Chain A
Amino acid sequence: MSLASANTVALDGPAPVGFAEKIWRINWGLVLVLTAIAGVGVLALYSAAGGRFEPWAARHAVRYGSAFVLMLVVAMVHPKVWLAMAWPIYIVSVLLLVAVDVIGKIGMGAQRWLVIGPMQIQPSEIAKVAVILVLARYYHGLSREQASQFLYTLPPLAIILLVVGLVMVQPDLGTAMMVLMGGGALLFVAGVRIWMFLAAGVGAVACLPIAWTLMHEYQRKRVLTFLDPDRDPLGAGYHITQSKIAIGSGGLFGKGFLKGTQSSLNFLPEKQTDFIFTTFVEEWGMAGACVLLGLFALVLVWGFSIAFRSQHHFGRLLALGVTAMMFLYVFINTAMVMGLLPVVGVPLPLVSNGGTALLSVMFACGLLIGVNVYRDAQLPRTR
């Protein structure tokens, strides 16, 4: 009823939306689904710790609580603020990435963390959201004709590839893939010509040998192991073999809560982070896996419907970008633990243990819900 009245007034431009209206427009169903997924995370982490809340499950619940508040706050912020903040956020995240690379040079091996006071932050997680924001802002300012022109495609390519490059250097192949594919999805829906994607695809294949030479030894090993997991069952292929054993032995209904032998006896590596899906599925079986994947699918459906209902292009692109990011997280992680993709460090959103990833996902969901709250906001097509 209040919705209908808002629409009638909108003939002359939208009437300002009241606070109660904003609260009402929050997709509470989506919030519930997200909380359910986080609940699965608490359950799985409790089991991964051998039936204890410490060290992961309790902290996960607390983190979700604060991320939940962050999400609601972000959802209440008017899109024009994000329109204005997009570039500054992007620049800051690029600077943080550079900082982490420099410190990483000083330290040893892969450096993904930046320690600021008591906090450890992962700049690549922030960068994922920043790229979506800045791309949405860019295409918001272009007409359909402009969006389809090659010249106008160059700046977004630079935006994406700068971040991809900085993340690759860390090295973090998983995040780099996610930024590349997430950015590509945004470009696709924004109206970039199909032939350009085809050209990029052909170019990528042509560049594969070069990428191979640039890869680290352990990355090459992972790719080789993915192609043939049995070539080194006790070495690099060990993780994926054990993960498949855990999932497969779970069967239809699983071994039962806290009864997963593969995880409790430590045959599973990284069982609280990247392989949390395996831990959960070993105990809850295919039924549990379908429920969890179904919850994620619901999030995606919600995301698409929010994108379609947005009256402004910025909102559409933002919502779709967040949805694509969510999908990539879930798909890459689960496909990896099931042996369909090489082992790359991508967590399962809202389930894996890890603070920054949780915050960035919830921040993104806040943006998504914000698009719905302010779906009929009037946004100027500024550059």
Chain B
Amino acid sequence: MKHFRKGDGERSGLFTRRALLLGGAQAVLLTALAGRLYQLQVVETDRFATLAEENRINLRLLPPSRGLIFDRAGQPLAVNRNNFRAMATSDRGRGVDVLVERLDQIFGLGDAEKTRMLRELRRSRNAQPVVVRENLGWEEVARLEFNAPDLPGVFIDLGQSRDYPEGDLMSHIVGYTGRVADEDLAGRDDPVLQLATMRFGKKGVERSLEDDLRGRAGAVQVEVNAVGRVVRELDRTEGQPGSNALLTIDLDLQRFAAEKMKEHQSGSVVVMDVITGDIIAMVSTPGFDPSTFARGITQSEWRDLLDNPERPLHNKAIAGVYPPGSTYKMVTALAALESKAIDPWTRLPCVGHLELGSIKFHCWLKGGHGSTNVTEAIAQSCDCFFYEAARRAGIDRVSDMAQRLGFGKVSELGLPGESAANQPTRAWKQEKIGKPWQHGDTFNLGIGQGYMTATPLQLAVMTARLANGGYEVQPNLLLAKATPREELAPPPPRTKPSAPSLRLNPQHLALIREGMVQVVAAGTASHLRVDAKGRPLDPALRFAGKTGTAQVKRITEREREMGITQDQLPWHLRHHALFVCFGPIDNPRYACAVIVEHGQGGGKTAGPIGRDVLVETMKRDPSRRTDSFRKMASR
């Protein structure tokens, strides 16, 4: 028994020492745990509390409903309609591959769509939903609901999408919207643009009025769980819908003009109020169907639009550049008159051509016009008169006058993609071509050829400034805009231009206008003094104009000798047909510019369209002055 105890005592002594050591170590480690708790829960508690709140609370933006676009009478041009769309959220990018595969089986997404979805789902922060597919039909909704158990994180959302009831008729003016692109975000920090369902104006008024149409986002604060499901709503602020806009376009006139353009492959018509600058109609044919963009354009549809030689996506009224040809002769005449290079009585000879050194500059009339003054020269469109007038005035005065009348610069219309075209100057040629300005260049410019190009809109603006007595009127597309809480109504009518005067001699302007009157009365467009059925025009609807035929390709001496006619050339090499006009003669109110691409003779092809559209515009004038708007809008 003693032996037993002794041995045990030895062992227990060592045990006690070592056990105390172990216990001490444990006490130290437990103290370390308490220290860690202190660090997390006292020292850093604020930081972690913030992180916990950020985890829990999710600010979701409510996309505002986009402003509507109407024509000047209140007829809808761009509206919103309900759109059922499939959305998907992912739990920090987990299982997205499987999810996208299943969605592909249901919808047949295609590879490009699948790649986009995978990218967006992986990139999506705070479980922000990603759009799977828009504009679901009832069958697709049903199929999605049926497969819901296999599609975690997929839900159906009711949103709005854009609809364009007038289709291609208004496609170039109204434009369309699309997904927000990175370049759209430049200078805009509106957080609503980060939403996957948000749309952004890409073309036309949708683009130029984007910041008005968009509205302000509402926000809802929701509590979410770890997979981003909303548990409850904490707070909600309603947004503000975008402003509605009233355009200056008269939809019925627009339709009429488009109808007139139909028989030609490609071209443009611009009708403008010479007092206010309102664009009453602006047609560019062919158009495109903007709803293909609203629902998401396919690769092949996009290819087709791009490859079409008639360029349907191109708004030819503002982006099509053409040599103005004889429609430019008023500029030359006015520059010569204002610079006193000629006076109203100056008569210049024409024998069918003018020689400059060894080069022959031809007049369109082989035998020549004989001696003409400025009015007769405009009426007969005598080239020789304007070669000489341009020579006498000089390049600087001609191009200066042209710029005052609106050439060579982008207008204040505001539509994206407008071209400045080209008003050549000495400096321009030296810089771009690297050669000094030649007399021959001045001759060519005098008849609107050579380096000179213009857009149909610029031609309309020039005509308007000549017609309104020399006021620097600017084209304008927006009649009025108002938030949904305000009344949307057109401004009161105006009879005097508010634009600054160009300070041109009224006598000179009157001479130019008289020349244009003579064009229709007895000149190159005398066939237009009667209507399409050969009946004389109502005196109140009489108008003045100027024809133009713009060379696409130089006429060679050989062709001139062989007498090759335009009909024998392929379409894309034929002359462009141009016509500018204003009316009524006594108290001009409307200007119109027409271009038919490769339409050959200006008077023959473009003239009748200009006449019909301008006469229709004048006929419909009273309807624009009365208070018919409210009736339309409240319908």
Chain A positions within 8 Å of B, measured between CB atoms, are 13, 143-144, 147, 185, 188-191, 234, 238, 242, 244-252, 261-262, 265-267, 281, 285-286, 289-290, 293, 297, 300, 304, 307-308, 311-313, 316-317, 320, 324, 327, 331, 334-335, 338, 340, 381
Contact = CB atoms under 8 A, between A and B. Distances in A.
Contacts of A320: 15, 19, 22
Given A144-B11, A261-B55, A265-B224, A247 B48 contact: yes
Contacts of B262: none
B15 A251 contact: no
B102 interface: no
> DSSP majority for the B interface?
helix
Contact of A313 (B11, B36, B38, B48): B11
Contacts of A13: 1
B44 interface: yes
Contacts of B48: 244-249
Contacts of A381: 4, 7
A190 B93 CA distance: 53
Contacts of B8: 311-313
A249 B52 CA distance: 7
Contacts of A281: 37, 41
A297 B7 CA distance: 32
Contact of A189 (B7, B22, B33, B231): B22
B51 interface: yes
B37 A251 contact: no
Given A144-B14, A304-B19, A313-B12, A246 B52 contact: yes
Given A250-B45, A265-B56, A335-B33, 14 more contacts: A144-B11, A189-B22, A246-B48, A249-B52, A251-B45, A252-B41, A252-B42, A261-B223, A316-B15, A335-B36, A338-B37, A338-B40, A340-B36, A381-B7
Interface stretch (B23-31, B133-141, B560-568): B23-31
A144 B30 contact: no
Nearest to B223: A265
Contacts of B21: 188
B22 to A, nearest CB: 6
Given A190-B15, A245-B48, A251 B55 contact: no
Given A252-B42, A324-B22, A245 B51 contact: yes
A189 B37 contact: no
Contact of B226 (A188, A267, A293, A327): A267
Nearest to A243: B40
Interface in B29-77: 29-30, 32-34, 36-38, 40-42, 44-45, 47-49, 51-52, 55-56
A262 B55 contact: yes
12 contacts: A143-B7, A143-B10, A191-B11, A242-B55, A249-B51, A261-B52, A261-B223, A265-B56, A267-B226, A312-B8, A320-B15, A381-B4
A298 B81 CA distance: 70
Nearest to B44: A248
A98 B15 CA distance: 34
Given A185-B22, A234-B92, A244-B48, A147 B40 contact: no
> DSSP majority for the A interface?
helix
Given A261-B56, A265-B223, A244 B40 contact: yes
A300 B22 CA distance: 11
Interface extent on B, as a size class? 35 or more
9 residue pairs, one from A and one from B, having the closest CB atoms: A248-B48, A249-B52, A265-B225, A266-B226, A286-B41, A248-B40, A249-B49, A251-B45, A249-B48
B227 interface: yes
Contacts, number: 137
A298 to B, nearest CB: 11
B15 A191 contact: yes
Contact of B19 (A247, A286, A307, A340): A307
Nearest to A187: B18
A244 B12 CA distance: 43
B16 interface: yes
Contacts of A262: 52, 55-56
Nearest to B91: A234
Nearest to B52: A249
Contact of A265 (B23, B29, B231): B231
A40 to B, nearest CB: 16
Contacts of B49: 248-249, 251
B33 A251 contact: no
Contacts of A331: 26, 29-30, 33
A338 B36 contact: yes
A238 B91 CA distance: 12
A147 B22 CA distance: 18
Contacts of A307: 15, 19
